[in-house]
Amino acid sequence: MNLNEPLAERLRPKSLKDYVSQSHLVGKDGALTRHIEQGLIPSMIFWGPPGTGKTTLANIIATESGRPFYTLSAINSGVKDIREVIEKAKQSGGLFTTKNPILFIDEIHRFSKSQQDSLLQAVEKGWITLIGATTENPSFEVISALLSRCQVYILNAFDKKDLETLLKRSIEKDENISKKKITLQETSALLRLSGGDARKLLNIFELIVNAFDSDDIIITDKAVLQKVQNNTVHYDKTGEQHYDIISAFIKSIRGSDPNAAVYWLARMIEGGEDVKFIARRLLILASEDIGNANPTALVIANNTFQAVSTIGYPESRIILSQCATYLACSPKSNAAYLAISKAQQLVKQTGVLSVPLEIRNAPTKLMKEIGYGDNYKYAHNYDLNFASQEFMPKDIINTTLYEPGNNSRENAQRDFLKLRWKDKYGY
């Protein structure tokens, strides 16, 4: 064991029996379990946050299915590298064997369209079994032709039980950590700092353990926070601040601070962050945190996404800065976000409720005869283009889901609704 390796690397499991979490994939009845047992591995995309075992699972699948294993990182590989690996894979595997090699591509979302295109024939012909790993939604980042040839499996952030299992395993089994007498008196701070990222958890844990002068160590929340704060510049050695910084960026804009927003934007740009990753978060924020308080925000954010997708760095920094400062200086409202959240929760609680007959479509004679569309009031035939009628299922009538925010635009919406629905929804 190389003790110079980070703890997370030293504890990387080598088999499924040692693999923690993702039971929905590799548990007794997991979606991948039978494939692994039978050795019939489809091409697939692992989608999930960092530190959830995507690379580890790919390695284990290759080992337990007895296949040659090749790996590429999308950060530093091009089409030439892909073709070279595919050629090696063709020589070690073949079309007429179920043991075709596995090609694992980390951060496949960073591959361009042409790079992804170069994988298509190899996947289609069975020269390789592709396993791609991504932290981004593959629907947006993987070309449709490649996505259609792959199964998509979602890996979840580790829960409290899984993370505590990893901590205990490191205390018991790691050659370095196990030499010390460690008491896990409190784990809340460690778990909170990890954000469900197992790699981050273990590397922070190792940093904290090494920061103690004694080998008799009691882990408390206070000690964790103090020692992490004193070592902030060191603990994020593998780029895990990616999610911390985007969080700070979004919260700065939500908090209407353009100065902090451009600072965190600069941190991401200088760190080489994917321009589309930043723009996509701005697009989400424009609807989630601004919404109808300023509908133009969504238009600008969408145009920003389109522009930076075409232009790229370095000029995209200007466009991103314009969008970020505009959104930061915009009035805020999460009313639309809250409305759809409430509506989805209501649907889960009430199930499939019937559509009122008067607003059902009646394309056939039979439907008309049994009352579909009867008594429907065509709004444009009435004053103010409005006619009071029931649009909700009868079990949830008078349920208010949308509450306009307190800003000029949404106050105007509230006045609009009050004039029409005061007696029904209480606006």
- pLDDT value at position 98? 52
- pLDDT value at position 113? 86
- pLDDT value at position 230? 53
pLDDT band at 229 (very low <50, low <70, confident <90, very high): low
Render pLDDT for 365-378 as a digit per residue (tens, 0 to 9).
Answer: 777 777 777 888 88
Could you give the CA distance from residue 100 to residue 95 in angstroms, rounded to a whole number? 7
pLDDT band at 3 (very low <50, low <70, confident <90, very high): low
Read off the tokens for 222.
């206070």
| Lowest-confidence pick of 67-76, 273-282, 337-346 | 67-76
Which domains are delineated in the chain? Answer: 22-154 (3.40.50.300), 160-230 (1.10.8.60), 241-328 (1.20.272.10), 344-425 (1.10.3710)
Read off the tokens for 245.
């910084």
pLDDT greater than 50 at residue 236: no
CA distance readout (Å), 308 to 251, 279, 313: 22, 8, 8
pTM greater than 0.75:
no
**Hunting for tokens 């993370």 — which residue is that?**
163
Could you give the CA distance from residue 90 to residue 245 in angstroms, rounded to a whole number? 42
Concatenate the DSSP letters of all residues of 213-262 into one string. Answer: SSSEEEE-HHHHHHHHHHTTTTS-TTSTHHHHHHHHHHHHHHTT-HHHHH
Averaging pLDDT over each range in 48-52, 140-144, 282-286, 350-354, which range is the top one?
Answer: 282-286
